Structure 1
């Protein structure tokens, strides 16, 4: 529980009362490699703190091709925020690419705590804003940068990820084929 409190305190300093409330609702769990935190078509009910490991958020187009929307690397927050706030079925699956240690909580309980606690409400807002900015940044990169530049950014943002997950996941994140990724990697090592 110490890492989740440190993570939250780095976003906004929390009072002992708020830390105690958060400690009551988050439960430790394991997410094994290949397991899903949430599948496409499910209604999201939980959010989690990813302490260690890597999770991908992905979708599949009408032709059956997978696209990795984003990677979550501990420490971070995972969960289908769009499904949680819209009460609609989830559109983007989240799957563990490595064994993960998570702390999960009912989103309903977080909402209840938020109503009487400005710290939790502020924490939620800052996390949501952070993910909004991150998504916009990725959209701009996908539209304006070539695959090699996107690959270099991925290496900076997810240091060492290439050693932990299969290359085809990285290619799917970059929107290129594994063959194209291989060429880019070869060019950069020369």
Structure 2
């Protein structure tokens, strides 16, 4: 049985037939590091399931400063949900930080199948709940933890984050400078 089918079954009891319906509107892609799957100002039409590599989601200010919102490791669901739902340009950029393998799904076709397939609609709801819980956890961390605690939480989530993601990207995610991150690392290493 396909490993992605088994993974999706963790969210909802979908049949092989339903999985095959999803597969028909899905395209497997390999992308190189630096590829943007959602660009700033683009009206997105796709959602993604990352199966290898790692990606980031970031916001760029008018002055050109980037702020990392999220990092994605396998297996993750990725998409500019607000832009998809509102059919408006994305304010976020989704970019590969390494070479990646992912499945690209046409969101409109997916929603069409959801309207007539209750099991797929349940899967969609469960995935959205999962994504929301992760988002809320991140928001709580930003509001309640100091920079060192946020870094330690990130290391717990991604143990080899320092090897996978450049220091300035990690610092941006934590809401600090690369110099501050360097100090935090030295302090942790000295304890």
Q: Name the TM-score, length of structure 1 as normaliser.
A: 0.96
1:9 alignment counterpart: 9
- Equivalent pairs counted in the alignment come to 190
2:166 alignment counterpart: 166
Is 1:101 equivalent to 2:101 in the alignment?
yes
2:152 alignment counterpart: 152
1:33 alignment counterpart: 33
Is 1:111 equivalent to 2:76 in the alignment?
no
CA distance in 1, matches of 2:46, 2:4: 16
Task: Give yes or no for contact 2:33–2:99 (8 Å, CA) kept in 1.
Answer: yes
CA distance in 1, matches of 2:3, 2:52: 10
Cα offsets for 1:6-40 (capped at 9, x unmatched): 22112123112111211211111012100001011
2:131 alignment counterpart: 131
Task: Give yes or no for contact 1:56–1:96 (8 Å, CA) kept in 2.
Answer: yes
CA distance in 1, matches of 2:106, 2:99: 22
CA distance in 2, matches of 1:59, 1:23: 31
Q: Name the TM-score, length of structure 2 as normaliser.
A: 0.95
Q: How large is the RMSD of aligned CA atoms in angstroms?
A: 1.3
Structure 2: gaps spanning 5 or more residues = none
Task: Give yes or no for contact 1:60–1:66 (8 Å, CA) kept in 2.
Answer: yes
CA distance in 1, matches of 2:58, 2:94: 6
2:50 alignment counterpart: 50
CA distance in 1, matches of 2:39, 2:45: 12
Higher mean displacement: 1-10 or 148-157: 1-10
CA distance in 2, matches of 1:124, 1:161: 29
Task: Give yes or no for contact 2:50–2:100 (8 Å, CA) kept in 1.
Answer: yes
CA distance in 2, matches of 1:3, 1:164: 24
CA distance in 2, matches of 1:59, 1:79: 14
CA distance in 1, matches of 2:28, 2:9: 19
